[in-house]
Amino acid sequence: MQAIHYDRATDVAHALRLAQQPGAMYIGGGTNLLDLMKGDVERPRRLVDITHIGLDQVIELPDGGLRIGALVRNSDCADHALVRQRYPLLSQALLAGASPQLRNMATVGGNLLQRTRCPYFTDTAFEHCNKRMPGSGCGAREGYHRMHAILGASEACIAVNPSDMNVALAALEAVVRVAGPGAERAIALADFHRLPGATPQIDTLLRPGEMIVAVDLPASPFARHSHYLKVRDRASYAFALVSVAAALELEGDGVTVRQARIALGGVAHKPWRVAAAEAALAGQPLSDARSRQAAALLVAGAQGRPDNAYKIEMAQRAVVRALRNAANADNAASTGERA
């Protein structure tokens, strides 16, 4: 049995100092980390508790955006009045994830750092997982891979990012604010998560000792017409086979697309966006035919394997449905927003 030391940080600076100790890891809600520790996947020697350092607020920014503290609970974020009013897409995605009990514990920062649920990673009985043991191989490639990636995968790893929240944040073009031993820096959500390449054990651009302190959402024109669609095996407490975050800004006629944002989940190591797919909708009346064109661009280059090739068609159908739902939505009516 390995001894684990526990430290409670009092502020961000204190947390950063504690995290410089060998084998240290931050812990907030712990809904992912503790599971991985129980399964002997993660083996921290020291836990730095950051739940009391004041990162649990949602703050309105001068440009009309929001800053969401890293320790805001998922349930509180989903139910926050300004999130529901200005970013209903994020609220929908958060409520689609996990169970109410887990959402009451899980944090925004922790959600960003969720590790894959690939069974070859989470079960140490499997000997081949490059994400858990670099250089050991990828058991999923020739094994069970029904839930795995069709886009952005590599010879080393075909795992997917499991988060619903990350998909919505990608469509909303969020920025992750990070504090480290040197200084604070900002990382676009589009760049925060990595594709696996030859180093799938590295999930994000975080440097050793760095900590997420907040997520910034820019002012958004997509409050009224957005939709999060999650396709899964059962109606609750399941990870996405495919998910879509669709956001539209429509012209005054309510039909023509001024601009669109589309992100796919459940298909890659990170939320998947393709600028050409969004551009294909801009300046055009929205129709299922144009949505199918955008969907085809989104999955261009997809490579399915025997158990997960179905995702290529499923993703395209989901995009068409999500765009249709977004166009027909009137999120402002449900959140009390006034034009």
Domain-terminating residue out of 52, 71, 89: 52
* 20 lies in some domain: yes
Mean pLDDT of the chain: 96
Angle, alpha carbons 134-212-176 (nearest 5°): 100
* 150 lies in some domain: no
Q: Which of 183, 27, 24, 180 is nearest to 107 (CA)?
A: 27
Domain carrying residue 234: 225-330
Residues 47 and 71: their CA atoms lie apart, in Å, by 16
* 126 lies in some domain: no
Per-residue burial over 165-201, b = 16 or more CB atoms within 10 Å of its CB, e = otherwise:
bbbbbbbbbbbbbbbbeeeeeebebeebbebbeeebe
Joined tokens for residue 81: 């009045």
The residue assigned the tokens 């684990």 is: 4
* 205 lies in some domain: no
| pLDDT at residue 332 in the model | 60
Task: Give pLDDT tens digits for 232-267.
Answer: 998 878 999 999 999 999 999 999 999 999 999 999
The mean per-residue pLDDT over the stretch 56-72 comes to 98
Task: Give the CATH number for residue 264.
Answer: 3.30.390.50
CA-to-CA separations, 245 to 9, 29, 321, 338, in angstroms, rounded: 36, 25, 11, 24
Band (296; pLDDT cuts 50, 70, 90)? very high
* 195 lies in some domain: no
Residue 312 and residue 150 in contact, taking contact as beta carbons nearer than 8 Å = yes
Residue 71 and residue 108 in contact, taking contact as beta carbons nearer than 8 Å = yes
Residue 332 and residue 339 in contact, taking contact as beta carbons nearer than 8 Å = yes
The mean per-residue pLDDT over the stretch 140-160 comes to 98
Total number of domains constituting the chain: 2
Task: Give pLDDT tens digits for 205-224.
Answer: 999 999 999 999 999 999 99
Q: Which of 239, 233, 257, 234 is nearest to 324 (CA)?
A: 257
| pLDDT at residue 1 in the model | 63
